[in-house]
């Protein structure tokens, strides 16, 4: 069965650079979520999209922005990177059309390292 795809899997950037993380949800899933997991911490919700519209917002810095495209893939754009942005970034998808609180399926994550 198809899973959530995230790219790249690993990314190394310098401070003050920008980064773009991509997420391809499971086919026919209409909702995408982004989570950030810092070293030794539990995942924290950043932002979510349903049918290409932002549906919920968590502790996402103003330096970050995200969107969901017409093919339902999503991109997380991160600017003016800081050392503290080094983390594992997860994308998850679900099908709200099949039930609002259906299981979220998580991708393998993108490990971002800021030097």
Q: Using CB under 8 A as the criterion, which residues of the chain lie in contact with other proteins when the complex forms?
A: 31, 33, 35, 42-45, 48, 50, 55-56, 58, 88, 90, 92, 96, 100-101, 103-109, 111
Our CB check for other proteins shows the closer of 45 and 52 to be 45
CA 71 → CA 33, 58, 90, 111, distances in Å?
Answer: 15, 24, 19, 24
Q: Which helix (H) or strand (E) holds 66?
A: strand 64-68
Our CB check for other proteins shows the closer of 19 and 35 to be 35
Distance in Å, CB of 108 to other proteins, minimum: 4
Burial class (CB in 10 A: 0-12, 13-18, 19+), 76: buried
Distance in Å, CB of 72 to other proteins, minimum: 16
Distance in Å, CB of 5 to other proteins, minimum: 12
Residue 57 CB coordination number (10 Å): 11
Our CB check for other proteins shows the closer of 20 and 102 to be 102
Question: Reduced to 3 states, what is the DSSP secondary structure of residue 96?
Answer: helix
Distance in Å, CB of 94 to other proteins, minimum: 8
Our CB check for other proteins shows the closer of 8 and 58 to be 58
How many Å apart are CA 22 and CA 33, to the nearest integer? 12
């Amino acid at each position: 069965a198809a899973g959530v795809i995230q790219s790249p899997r690993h990314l190394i950037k310098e401070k003050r650079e920008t980064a773009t993380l991509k997420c391809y949800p499971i086919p026919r899933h209409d909702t995408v979520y982004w989570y950030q997991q810092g070293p030794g911490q539990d995942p924290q919700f950043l932002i979510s999209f349903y049918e290409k519209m932002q549906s919920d917002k968590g502790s996402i810095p103003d330096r970050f922005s995200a969107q969901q495209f017409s093919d339902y893939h999503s991109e997380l754009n991160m600017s003016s990177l800081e050392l503290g942005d080094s983390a594992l970034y997860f994308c998850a998808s679900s099908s709200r059309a099949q039930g609002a609180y259906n299981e979220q399926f998580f991708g393998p994550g993108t490990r971002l390292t800021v030097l």
